Amino acid sequence: MKLADNKATLSFSNGSPSVDLPVYHGNIGPDVIDIRKLYAQTGMFTYDPGFLSTASCQSAITYIDGDKGELLYRGYPIEQLAVNCDFLETCHLLLYGELPNETQKADFTNRVTQHTMVNEQMQFFLRGFRRDAHPMAVLTGLVGGLSAFYHDSTDINNPEHREIAAIRLIAKLPTLVAMAYKYSIGQPFMYPKNSLSYAGNFLHMMFATPCEEYKVNPVIEKALDRIFILHADHEQNASTSTVRLCGSSGTNPFAAIAAGVACLWGPAHGGANEACLNMLEEIQAMGGVAKVGEFMEKVKDKNSGVRLMGFGHRVYKNYDPRAKLMQETCNEVLQALGLENDPLFKLAKELERIALEDDYFVSRKLYPNVDFYSGIVQRAIGIPVSLFTAIFALARTVGWIAQLNEMIGDPEYKIGRPRQLFTGSPRRDVKPLDQR
């Protein structure tokens, strides 16, 4: 961090002495006021529910400018990465800070490929779940369970342990997600194939069966790889902050990532694309495109309780840069599969048209976000709605690991311990039972 020449001065109207607070510059983005000594100097905390104005860490990984609709991984715009790089190149960038050259890419890809299999005992662990369990419930257990199988990489303070845990998690998440899917539909598990790409291997494990050869569709393979890139990291969101907070206690990397998976499950976070597709199917059941106008009127009525899923974002106050890329991918996939006239896609286009023209949505900057189209793409590929969030977790794992490693390497990091504004009863004495 770079200390600014100026300071922030906090003054009080009750006559208490004012306090000078240091100001630090980021390379881009807002400056921050350092309040670490505020309690020692004033006896007071700050109050910021949802951390809307609080920087909990310094990070060099991902930057978002919500007003500009800009998303950068290590300084590179997401639009350029999604077009010019594959997912494993993006993983290398997030983990090590730079895009790989040809030799580095081959080495990194080989290391990941060699770790895609999971211990055979994981099958028996998986079979302890009900077959109709939500995939995120299964995945939370499986990821946490990895720490029971890989004891040689559970010391979060050992750089070598963190390195091998990172490779293992990136490599094994597609295998675990595919296993959870196969288990839910009663099909045999498919082992990884080292000859396939990262996305191609996942498609193979998801949709191949032992009774016939499976050929990966290159359009779908490219689309899935792009989905992974677009979801790889997203600054200090709820699940990333959860991973950092969990990891700050010194727990092992597998447990910290499992905590991120659990947080991502929520419909306000990783479950948003699942909620979006469910919304589209509900409108379709009501009458489809003909009922879109009626539905949007309900959305505008605060008393209706109807929400428009897949539009707007807590961070972006402009068009989500990932949404345009996902829209292009959606068009490519539907065209390749002959689904251009898919009723849900037509429905989605009509929803988007109204939202971009109606003053109610425009004034509130409720633009389509990445979840709006990613659900349609995954549905077209053949991925069930219940598995959408697990796919998100698969992609986000590399971001979580990069953030966790960065935190561990930060000499200023401490175990997370938020403060509170206490509003309960003041001290009181316990009376004997017969006097209460």
Per-residue pLDDT tens, the chain, 436 aa: give them. Answer: 789 989 999 999 998 999 999 999 999 999 999 999 999 999 999 999 989 899 999 999 999 998 888 999 999 999 999 999 999 999 999 999 999 999 999 999 999 999 999 999 999 999 999 999 999 999 999 999 999 999 888 888 888 999 999 999 999 999 999 999 999 999 999 999 999 999 999 999 999 999 999 999 999 999 999 999 999 999 999 999 999 999 999 999 999 999 999 999 988 788 777 788 888 889 999 898 888 889 999 999 888 888 888 787 767 767 788 888 988 898 899 989 998 888 888 888 888 888 888 888 888 888 888 878 888 889 899 999 889 999 999 999 999 999 999 999 999 999 999 999 999 999 999 999 999 9
94 neighbors 108 (Cβ within 8 angstroms): no
H helical segments located in 289-383: 292-300, 321-336, 343-357, 359-363, 370-381
Compute φ and ψ for 314, nearest 5 degrees. -60, -35
Catalytic residues: 313, 371
**193, 210, 189: which is closest to 123 by C-alpha?**
189
Comparing CA positions, the residue from 91, 96, 126, 112 lying closest to residue 168 is: 112
Q: Which long-range contacts (CB under 8 A, 24 or more apart) does 211-219 make?
A: 217/336, 219/332, 219/333, 219/336, 219/337
